[in-house]
Amino acid sequence: MEQRNNISAEHIAGIEDIYRTLVEELPLPVALYVGKDMRVTQVNNSLLKVWGKGTDVIGKTFREALPELEGQPFYDILDEVYASGIPYQAAEDRVDLFIDGRMQTFYFNFTYKPLKDEKGNVWGILNTATDVTELILTRKKLEEAQENSNLALKAADLGTWVMDPSTNFVSLDSRARELFGYQDNEVREFDDSLKIVHPEDRDYVELAIQKALDPDSDHACDVKFKTVSANDKQQYLRCVGKAYFDDQGNILRFAGTVEDITEETLAQKELTKFLALIENSQDLIGMTDMQGNVVYMNKAGQNLVGAACAEDYRRPSTDFLVREDLDRFSSAMKVGMATEGRFSGEIRYKHLQTGEQIPCYINAFIITDPDTNKPLGMASVTRDLREEKTRLKEQQKLIALVENSKDLMSILEQDGINSYLNKAGKELLGFDSDEEVKTTPIAKLHAPEDIAFVEREVIPSIQTKGSWSGVMNVRNLKTGEIFPVFNSTIRIDDVATGEPACIGAIMRDLRPEIAAKQELADREKLFRDITTASPVALWMTGTNTELTYINQVWIDWTNTPLEEQLGFGWTKFIVDEDKERVRNLFRSDFEQRRPHECQYRLIDANGRERWMICSGNPQYKVDGTFIGYIGTCVDITELKQLQRQKDEFLGIASHELKTPVTSIKAYAQVLESMFRDSGDERKADMVKKMDAQVNRLTNLIGDLLDVTKIQTGKLQFNDCEFDFNTLVKELAEDLQRTTRKHHIILELDATGTIFADKERIGQVITNLITNAIKYSPNADKIVIFTKKEKDEVRLCVQDFGIGIPDDKKDKVFEQFYRVSGDKQHTFPGLGLGLYISSEIIKREGGKIWVTSIEGRGSTFCFSLPLNRKGN
Ligand code: ADP
């Protein structure tokens, strides 16, 4: 200060000038306000420019110089600085100034510095300022831009992420953290953050990142992936990122956005499902534009009309429809579309290749743009009715079947009323019309006690078991008659829900059956009465030889009830000696379905022995099925007794006759030789004839005696060895003498000797030759063959006579049997010769048989065993 005082005033003035100029030209705004009223004593150009004022402000108070600052804090601040002596500094303060005729906003960093005298009193204020308006505005713009981008991110619900390759850490903004499910603010390693990607998508995401981080790629990546969501909710994210590289190809930054695409992904998936649904629908689904050109047709549609690809179906929809149907429907279609925007009906489609007309049900409607409400095109869903139509036809056939069934058929609804009753049912229950059926509760179709039964037994059974069948009573509405029916019911369930829907019933009127059963019972009774009235026992077996029926006659004989006779119960009354034989014969006849005949003895209820002759025949149904045997048993005890008496009589008579006849024969022979000796040839011849008749008589008596011996088992045999052919020759020679007409021809094989009763075998041969002569009156030869075969010797006598009818052949060996007919009296005889012959041969262990053709001749043969001697 002292030094200053020493400096000359001129010098000071010069310095002041320099200083003023300096200040004036300073680019930094500067002003000096002096005194309490803040008179502007100095202000440089820079500040004047800021203020938008001229130099005329110099000398004015601050308030006068800048009246527009009224209402802004500056006057007060200056006063405060002046009063307090404390400098004021402001950074980026807003100042509104009147410049170029309008208020404008500026920002300043400025200082009010108090200037004090030696005593420390403030005398002025130095105002320096820096205009930072530009800076502030730029920053504000930047901030705004940042805010806008934040807003955009926020609006798009985007999160951001940045990966710093130097640390390999990722930082996320709050939205990104939320989407990644991070609860904290922590930064994570890049690899760690990838754990959010679902394993399904991880490979794909990692590959995309690798690609973006490859300096040679486009550096961009855009991935959509599923997350491993902490809660089970599905979450899909989309990350779009870009990698930044320096000139050397070093990665600087990898950053981008993340957004939640769960909703649209799920919606997309739903849409894909819908599209698949449409594409694979069994129904034809198609779409046309507003001009009626098909733009889409699903698979089923393409199949239906025979379109192989989109080119095939992209044509006017009318191409697919049958012309006549189009004409028929066109007005209805137009009206439907115009009024309701839809049309449905049955229409025939046309197959593009085959031209087949396919009945379909179409449901077409207009599709409108939901935003503008303008029609976009037309869609149609069409069902192929072919199968339905065939099913309908089948159904109609079934209905016809049901309707015309002889049995009642009905459908009973849950309200207890029949919704359907077929023709037979209406007749049976006395209904006149379907209308009547549908208004009549079933309670009216039963007597009160019967409906109670239905409610108690039938309905619960149907409900629980699904069916009921049995006999119940119904009532005819017209006649009131209550009658039994056999009812088969079944619960019919709803195909879709499985819930019981209704009850189906099939009823058969039992009245005809009952009447038939009654008739059968009556007939059976009549049959029993008839068989009981018969004097013979009648019996019946099943197919397995077991007795199933025997009438009262047998039951009376044995005094044992029917039940004990059934099966083989009846055989217990047969005497022990006969039992086995009877059973065997019965069985073997039965097995071969032969007519059965058997004689045996039975012990009756009184212990008496009765002789039975039982016979039966196999029975067949009309179709030829075997059903068992039916037969009879006749009591022949008396007959047997008479037979025995007759046999006894014959035995005695023939025996008694034999002695006188032998005497007569002896006298005759003596008489003959006496007449011959006396030369009375005529008398001698007469006695000779008498002798021949006596011979015949002897033979007859011999036969009768033999028969009685056979019957009583007294036929004696004296077997010895003899030459068979020699015997045959001797007998043939003898018998040749008795006939002049027949020539007996011998065709004998070497037979050798046999061991048998020579007399008896001779008797048989004689019988066969005499029969051959007797029964071939018009023939002239008889041929006798002998033959030795293995272990037997055989003889046959062939004649060319009357022969024997086929059905009589086997009977000729029976006692007293003679083939009846006109010839009966032509050929004398008793019918005993063959009977005795067959008994002899049987006794000698051989067989006898005949082959014959009626009118052409017979051949009687027998065979005898050769090896009997040793026995
Ligand atoms: P008969 O000859 O005494 O009547 P047979 O027992 O010898 O008795 O014969 C029984 C029956 O067999 C005869 O009545 C006859 O009808 C028949 N017959 C036997 N031999 C012959 C034959 N060679 N040709 C035709 N019929 C015969």
- Report the C-alpha gap between 272 and 261 in whole angstroms: 16
Which ligand 1 atom sits nearest the alpha carbon of residue 860? 23
CA of 768 to the centre of ligand 1 (A): 9
Distance 707 CA to ligand 1 centre (A): 16
Residue 835 Cβ < 6 Å to ligand 1: yes
Is 812 touching ligand 1 by the criterion CB < 6 Å?
A: yes
Side chain identity at residue 126, one-letter code: L
Asked if residue 834 has its Cβ within 6 Å of ligand 1, the reply is: yes
- pLDDT confidence of 105, banded at 50, 70, 90? confident
Residue among 708, 739, 731 nearest 832 (CA): 708
| Cβ atoms of 27 and 46 closer than 8 Å | yes
Mean pLDDT, range 435-439, rounded to an integer: 94
pLDDT band at 504 (very low <50, low <70, confident <90, very high): very high
Would you say the CB of residue 775 lies under 6 angstroms from ligand 1?
yes
Q: What is the pLDDT of the chain when averaged over all its residues? A: 89
Q: Name which residue sits closest to atom 9 of ligand 1, judged by CA.
A: 831
Ligand 1 pocket residue status of 839, Cβ below 6 Å? no
pLDDT per residue as tens digits for the range 49-103: 888 888 898 899 999 988 888 888 888 999 999 999 999 998 888 888 888 888 8
Note if the pTM is more than 0.75: no
If one compares 531 and 268, the residue with the highest pLDDT of the two is 268
* Residue of 819, 827, 837 to test ligand 1 pocket, by largest number of atoms within 8 Å of CB: 819
Residue 454 DSSP code: I
Please tell me the distance between residue 43's alpha carbon and the centre of ligand 1 in angstroms. Answer: 187
- pLDDT at site 525: 87
Instruction: State the CB neighbour count (10 A cutoff) for residue 350.
Output: 19
* Cα(807) to centroid(ligand 1), Å: 14
Instruction: Supply the residue whose CA is at minimum distance from atom 23 of ligand 1.
Output: 772
Ligand 1 and 829: CB distance under 6 A: yes
> pLDDT at residue 478 above 90?
yes
Least confident of 363-377, 414-428, 502-516, 602-616: 363-377
> Can you tell me which atom of ligand 1 is nearest the CA of 767?
7
858 close to ligand 1 (CB < 6 Angstrom): yes
Ligand 1 atom 19: residue of nearest CA: 771
Tell me which residue has its CA closest to atom 3 in ligand 1: 829
Q: Is the pLDDT confidence value at 532 over 90?
A: no
For residue range 17-60, list pLDDT tens digits in order: 887 788 888 888 889 999 888 899 888 888 888 888 888 988 99
**727 C-alpha vs ligand 1 centroid, how far in Å?**
23
Distance 771 CA to ligand 1 centre (A): 6
The Å distance, Cα 770 to ligand 1 centre, comes to 10
CA of 837 to the centre of ligand 1 (A): 12
- How far is it, in rounded angstroms, from Cα 369 to Cα 600? 110
**DSSP class of 458:** I
- Quickly state the pLDDT bin for 174 (edges 50, 70, 90): confident
How would residue 183 be classed by pLDDT, with cut points 50, 70 and 90?
Answer: confident
Task: Report whether pLDDT(144) > 90.
Answer: no
How does pLDDT run across 670-700, given as a tens digit for each residue? 999 999 999 999 999 999 999 988 988 898 8
pLDDT level of residue 190 (50, 70, 90 thresholds): confident
Please name the residue whose Cα sits nearest to atom 11 of ligand 1.
Answer: 818
Report d(CA 581, CA 191) in Å as an integer. 110
User: Pairing relation of β-strands 251-260 and 236-245?
Assistant: antiparallel
Ligand 1 centroid to Cα of residue 779, in Å, is 16
Ligand 1 contact via 840 beta carbon (within 6 Å): no
Of residues 848 and 810, which shows the higher confidence score? 848
**Mutation test of ligand 1: which of 797, 804, 836 has the most ligand atoms closer than 8 Å to its C-beta?**
804
| Structure confidence at residue 1 (pLDDT) | 43
831 lines ligand 1 (CB under 6 A): yes
Per-residue pLDDT at 475 exceeds 80: yes
205-208: long-range contacts, CB 8 A cutoff, minimum separation 24? 205/239
Q: Report CA torsion sign: 436, 440, 444, 445.
A: positive
**pLDDT at 124 exceeding the cut of 70:** yes
Q: Ligand 1: distance of its center to the CA of 257 in Å? A: 134
Alpha carbons 850 and 177: distance in angstroms, whole number: 125
Q: What integer is the mean pLDDT of 826-850?
A: 91
Interval between CA 817 and ligand 1 midpoint (Å):
8
Task: Please tell me the predicted confidence (pLDDT) of residue 5.
Answer: 53
Could you tell me whether strands 743-748 and 781-789 are parallel, antiparallel, or unpaired per DSSP bridges? parallel
Tell me what pLDDT residue 683 has: 93
Measured between alpha carbons, how far is 18 from 1 in angstroms, rounded to an integer?
20
> Look-up: residue for tokens 């159904």?
395
Residue among 696, 766, 775 whose CB has most ligand 1 atoms within 8 A, to mutate = 775
Each residue's pLDDT tens digit, 251-261: 888 899 999 99
Average pLDDT for 465-490:
94
CA 71 – CA 67 distance, rounded (Å): 9
Give the range with max mean pLDDT: 22-31, 221-230, 484-493. 484-493
Q: What is the pLDDT of residue 821?
A: 58
Q: Which of 1-15, 305-319, 517-531 has the lowest mean pLDDT?
A: 1-15
pLDDT tens per residue, range 333-358 = 888 888 888 889 899 999 999 999 99
| CB neighbours of residue 312 within 10 Å | 15
Indicate whether residue 802 lines ligand 1 (CB < 6 A): yes
Could you give the percent of the chain with pLDDT greater than 70? 98
> In this prediction, what percent of the chain has a pLDDT beyond 90?
51
Q: Ligand 1 centroid to 792 CA: how many Å?
A: 25
- 761-820 pLDDT, tens digit each: 999 999 999 999 999 999 999 999 999 998 899 999 999 999 999 989 989 999 888 886
Q: Tell which atom from ligand 1 comes closest to the C-alpha of 818.
A: 14
- Is the beta carbon of 796 within 6 A of some atom in ligand 1? no
Residue 7, pLDDT score:
60
Residue 215 has pLDDT above 70, yes or no: yes
Cα of 457 vs centre of ligand 1, distance in Å, is 80
Measured distance CA(760)–CA(257) in Å, rounded: 139
